[in-house]
Amino acid sequence: MDMEILPDYLVEAREMLEKAQEDTLLLETEPGNQDALASVFRAVHTIKGGASFLKVTPLVEWTHHLESLLDKLRSGRLTATSGHIDAVLKGLDVIDQMLQELAPGTIPREGPAELGHLIRTLASQNAEDAPGHNGSAAAPGNEQPALAEHAEHDAQPPTASAGTTAPVSPPEAASPAASPEHHSAAPASRGAEAVEKMLRIDASRLDAVMNQVGELVLLRNRLASAVTALGKENDNMSRIAREMDLTVNDIQNTVMRLRMQPCKRLFQSLPRVVRDLSRELGKDVRLELVGEDVEIDKTVVDALSAPMTHLVRNSLDHGIELPAARTAANKPATAVLRVAAIHLGDKVRIEVVDDGRGVDRRLVTQKAIEKGVITPEQAAHLSEQAALELIFRPGFSTKEQASDLSGRGVGMDVVKETTHKLRGRLSLDTRPGQGTRIAMEFPLTLAVLPVLYLRLREDVYALPISSIDSLTDLEEDRVHRLGSRVTYRVHGTQTVPLVDLGSILQEKPMRIGAESIEGVLTEKGLFIVSEVLGNEDSVVKPIDFLTSQNWYQGATISGQGSVVLILDAGALSCAASAAAEGGM
C-alpha cells in the first residue's frame, strides 16, 4: 500500500461517498433520475479504481458487486425500488466503515456476508434481459473471474502534489463498463477546469496562517494605541497607522473567508438520519433544508455534526407524533421538520423546527425532580423558560426506559456544551401541540473575537461583544431582593439576575450608590462593573494552567500591551446563582 497516496485517496473517497449518498436518497423520490444514478455509479467505480491501485482487496470486491447492481439500475435493466435503495445505502455505509478502517493503513475487514449476498442477488435479477447475454441468470458469487479483470483494468493511482490533493480521477472519467455514448469530452473538460481552480490545503497550515494573522491584529492594536499616545503632531505616523489598519483588516477578512464553509456540509447527513429513523419509529416526516449555501467558520461546521444529529433525532423521537395521533389532533399526517441556516450580519443562526407536540414544561420539571437533576425547592423558583431549558441538563430525559435512540440523558447536553464552546447562543421556543424551535447563533468566525473592555475597580477584564445585549446606567430603585437573590428590573416588569462581578472575582461586593457603577446587560443577567472602557478586536489565547471549572474563556493582549482575561458570562451567572442558593 502506498502510504503517501493513501491520505489523498481517503479525502477524495469520502467526498464522493457523501455525494453518492445524497444522490441515492434523491433516487427514492425520483427513481428514473439518470443523472443521479450515473453520479452514484461513477463515485463507486472511482472508489474501486483507487482501492485497486492501493491493493485494498476487500474494498475492491465490495465496490465491484455494488457497482454491478448500480450498472443494472443505470442501464434500465432494473427499476429502482425501495429495496434497491436500501441495499445501496447500506452498501455505501459499509464502504464508509472500510474507509475508516483503512485510515491508519490497515486492510479493512470484508463486508457483511448477508448484505453482500443480497446485493449480488439483486444484481443478478433480470440478467437475461441484458444485451448480448446468453439468457441464463448469473448465480450470486460467480462474478469473481470478472472481478480480477476489472480490478486490473480499473486500477488508477490517485494523483497528488505537495500540499494539495486532486481528485482520485475526474468525476466524468468513463467507466470501462460504461457505454461510450453516455460520455463526451465536454464534461471531462469542465471537470478538469474545476480541478485546476481548486487547491486543497492541509487544515493545520491554514490554522497556522490564521494564528499569524491574529498576532498581526494584536500588533495593529498596539501600534494604534502607541500612535494615539504620541498626539496629533505625528500626522505622518497617524496616517501610516490608519493605512496599516486597513491593510490588516483586508488580510484578516481574506484569511477568514478561506476558513468559511457552506452549511450544506453540516446538513448533508440529515436526510439519511430522518429517512432511517422515521421508518424505524413509524412516522411520516418531510425534511426541509434551508440555507445550505450560507457559510460559517469551518470549526463550527466540524463541531456541530453530532449536535445537529442529536437535535434531529430528539425532534423525531420526542416531538413529532405518530400519523394517527396527528390526524386525531387535526394536523397533517406528514410532519414537517425544518432545518435552516440564516445569515444575520456577523452571525449565523441555525434552527431546528418541528410541528410536533411541543415541550410540556410541567412534565419536564417533574422528570427533572424525579431524576435528581434539581430539587423541589429549586423547581419552585424556576421561570417558565428556565424550566424548559432543563432538557439541556446532563442526565435529563423524559423517557422512562432508555432505548438505542434516547433516554440516557445525553445528547441535548452535548448541544448546549458545544454551543457554549463555540461562543454561541442557544434558545428554545415551544408551543404545546404546535411544535418546537431550537436555535443556535454563532459568530461568523472564531478566529478574531470582538470584546468590550471593562474596569472593575483597579482591574481590567474583557467580555465578548456577542454576549452583550446593551449597556445601561444602574438605578438603585430598580434593584430588588427576593431572599438571597438579587434581581434588576430592566423594562416594565421584566427582571434579570444581578451579577456582582466584584463579589465573584474580588470577593468584595460592589456598593451600589457608594461607588461608580455601570451595568452590562447580557443574556445571562445584568453584570455590574465600575466602568466600560471601549471595544477592540482580540485574539483569544487559552489558559491551560487553570482548572476546567473557571470563569474565563481565555486571555488576550490589549492595545496597551497588557494581558486581559476574557470573562465567561455563562459561568459567572451560574456562580452568582450558586452563591445565592447557598445563602451568600
Tell me: do 368 and 516 sit in the same domain.
no
Asked whether residue 137 carries a pLDDT value surpassing 80, the answer given is no
Asked whether residue 490 carries a pLDDT value surpassing 70, the answer given is yes
Tell me: do 385 and 482 sit in the same domain.
no
Q: What CA–CA distance (Å, rounded) separates 24 from 31? A: 9
The type of residue at 416 is: K
Tell me: do 574 and 426 sit in the same domain.
no
**150-154, 262-266, 302-306, 432-436, range with the lowest pLDDT:** 150-154
Asked whether residue 136 carries a pLDDT value surpassing 80, the answer given is no
Tell me: do 368 and 407 sit in the same domain.
yes
Q: Decide which of 38 and 476 is more confident.
A: 38
Closest CA to 171 of 194, 199, 153: 194
Q: What CA–CA distance (Å, rounded) separates 577 from 584? A: 10
Q: What CA–CA distance (Å, rounded) separates 514 from 517? A: 9
State the average pLDDT over residues 269-282: 90
- Secondary element (H or E) of residue 553: strand 552-557
Q: Decide which of 212 and 4 is more confident.
A: 212
**What's the domain count of the chain?**
4
Residues with Cβ within 8 Å of residue 96, at least 6 apart in sequence: 14, 17
Asked whether residue 103 carries a pLDDT value surpassing 80, the answer given is yes
**CATH at residue 100:** 1.20.120.160
**Boundary (domain end) residue, out of 409, 443, 477:** 443
Residue 25: CB atoms within 10 Å: 18
Asked whether residue 482 carries a pLDDT value surpassing 50, the answer given is yes
What percent of the chain stands above pLDDT 90? Answer: 14
Residue 402, SS3 per DSSP: coil
Q: How confident is the model at residue 582 (pLDDT cuts 50, 70, 90)?
A: low
Tell me: do 278 and 251 sit in the same domain.
no
Inside any domain, residue 177: no
Identify which of 123-127, 377-381, 409-413 has the greatest average pLDDT. 377-381
**Boundary (domain end) residue, out of 240, 259, 278:** 259
Q: What CA–CA distance (Å, rounded) separates 26 from 179? A: 24
Question: How many angstroms from the chain centroid is the CA of residue 63?
Answer: 29
Q: How confident is the model at residue 227 (pLDDT cuts 50, 70, 90)?
A: confident
- Secondary element (H or E) of residue 534: strand 531-538
Q: What CA–CA distance (Å, rounded) separates 391 from 309? A: 16
DSSP state of 139: P
Q: Check if the beta carbon of residue 111 is closer than 8 Å to that of residue 94.
A: yes
Inside any domain, residue 275: yes
Q: Check if the beta carbon of residue 449 is closer than 8 Å to that of residue 540.
A: yes
Tell me: do 409 and 492 sit in the same domain.
no
- Location of C-alpha cell 472508489: 47
Q: What does the pLDDT read at residue 474?
A: 81
**23-27, 156-160, 182-186, range with the lowest pLDDT:** 182-186
Q: What does the pLDDT read at residue 498?
A: 86
For the sheet with 449-456, list strands across it: 531-538, 449-456, 459-464, 563-567, 552-557
- Secondary element (H or E) of residue 460: strand 459-464
Question: Tens of pLDDT along 366-407?
Answer: 888 887 878 887 777 777 778 888 888 877 766 554 444 544
Inside any domain, residue 176: no
Tell me: do 289 and 384 sit in the same domain.
yes
Q: What does the pLDDT read at residue 95?
A: 92
Q: What CA–CA distance (Å, rounded) separates 357 from 115? A: 38
Tell me: do 283 and 420 sit in the same domain.
yes
- Rounded-to-10 torsion of CA 285, 291, 292, 293: 170
Identify which of 243-257, 436-450, 453-467 has the greatest average pLDDT. 453-467
Q: What CA–CA distance (Å, rounded) separates 152 from 449? A: 54
Q: What does the pLDDT read at residue 134?
A: 39
Q: What CA–CA distance (Å, rounded) separates 49 from 44? A: 9
Asked whether residue 572 carries a pLDDT value surpassing 50, the answer given is yes
Tell me: do 420 and 341 sit in the same domain.
yes
Q: How confident is the model at residue 355 (pLDDT cuts 50, 70, 90)?
A: very high
Q: Check if the beta carbon of residue 123 is closer than 8 Å to that of residue 70.
A: no
Beta-sheet pairing, 459-464 with 563-567: parallel
Q: What CA–CA distance (Å, rounded) separates 421 from 419? A: 6
Question: Tens of pLDDT along 166-213?
Answer: 333 333 333 333 333 333 334 444 444 444 566 777 777 887 888 888
Q: Decide which of 395 and 548 is more confident.
A: 395
What percent of the chain stands above pLDDT 70? Answer: 81
> Mean of the per-residue pLDDT values for the chain?
78
Asked whether residue 139 carries a pLDDT value surpassing 70, the answer given is no
Asked whether residue 81 carries a pLDDT value surpassing 90, the answer given is no
Tell me: do 292 and 427 sit in the same domain.
yes
Q: What does the pLDDT read at residue 72?
A: 85
Paired strand residues for 525: 522
| C-alpha dihedral sign at 508, 513, 515, 517 | positive
Q: Report the half-sphere exposure of 412 (CA within 13 A, side-chain side).
A: 27
Q: What does the pLDDT read at residue 274?
A: 92
Categorise residue 163: left if φ over 0, alpha if ψ from -120 to 50, beta otherwise: left
Residue 220, SS3 per DSSP: helix
List the Cα angle 281/283/287 in 5-degree steps.
Answer: 115
Q: Check if the beta carbon of residue 50 is closer than 8 Å to that of residue 9.
A: yes
**94-103, 131-140, 352-361, 372-381, range with the lowest pLDDT:** 131-140
Asked whether residue 483 carries a pLDDT value surpassing 90, the answer given is no
Inside any domain, residue 50: yes
Q: How far apart are the first and last CA of the chain?
A: 66
Q: What is the pTM of this model?
A: 0.67
Question: Tens of pLDDT along 418-453?
Answer: 888 888 888 899 998 899 999 998 887 776 788 899
Residues with Cβ within 8 Å of residue 543, at least 6 apart in sequence: 550, 552, 554, 555, 565
**Boundary (domain end) residue, out of 259, 277, 306:** 259
Asked whether residue 143 carries a pLDDT value surpassing 60, the answer given is no
- Location of C-alpha cell 416531538: 319
Q: Annotate 148-180 with b (16+ C-beta within 10 A) or e (fewer).
A: eebbeebbebbbbeeeebbbbbbbbbbbebbee
Inside any domain, residue 178: no
Paired strand residues for 532: 454
Q: What does the pLDDT read at residue 371?
A: 79
Q: What does the pLDDT read at residue 476?
A: 80
Question: Tens of pLDDT along 40-70?
Answer: 888 898 898 888 888 889 999 999 989 888 8
Q: How confident is the model at residue 581 (pLDDT cuts 50, 70, 90)?
A: low
**CATH at residue 279:** 3.30.565.10
The type of residue at 486 is: V
CA distances from 473 to 49, 85, 459, 522 (A): 69, 63, 20, 14
Q: What does the pLDDT read at residue 484?
A: 67
**CATH at residue 228:** 1.10.287
Q: How confident is the model at residue 469 (pLDDT cuts 50, 70, 90)?
A: confident
Q: What CA–CA distance (Å, rounded) separates 49 from 168? A: 9
Inside any domain, residue 248: yes
Inside any domain, residue 328: yes
CA distances from 513 to 272, 330, 486 (A): 60, 58, 16
Inside any domain, residue 410: yes
Asked whether residue 156 carries a pLDDT value surpassing 60, the answer given is no
Q: Check if the beta carbon of residue 318 is closer than 8 Å to that of residue 398.
A: yes
DSSP string computed for 439-459: EEEEES-SSSEEEEEEEETTE
Asked whether residue 507 carries a pLDDT value surpassing 90, the answer given is no
Q: What CA–CA distance (Å, rounded) separates 163 from 204? A: 11
Tell me: do 427 and 280 sit in the same domain.
yes
Tell me: do 463 and 396 sit in the same domain.
no
Paired strand residues for 435: 431
Q: How confident is the model at residue 497 (pLDDT cuts 50, 70, 90)?
A: confident
Q: Decide which of 515 and 525 is more confident.
A: 525
Burial (Cβ within 10 Å: 0-12, 13-18, ≥19) of residue 365:
buried
**Which range marks the domain in which residue 324 is found?**
262-443
The type of residue at 332 is: P
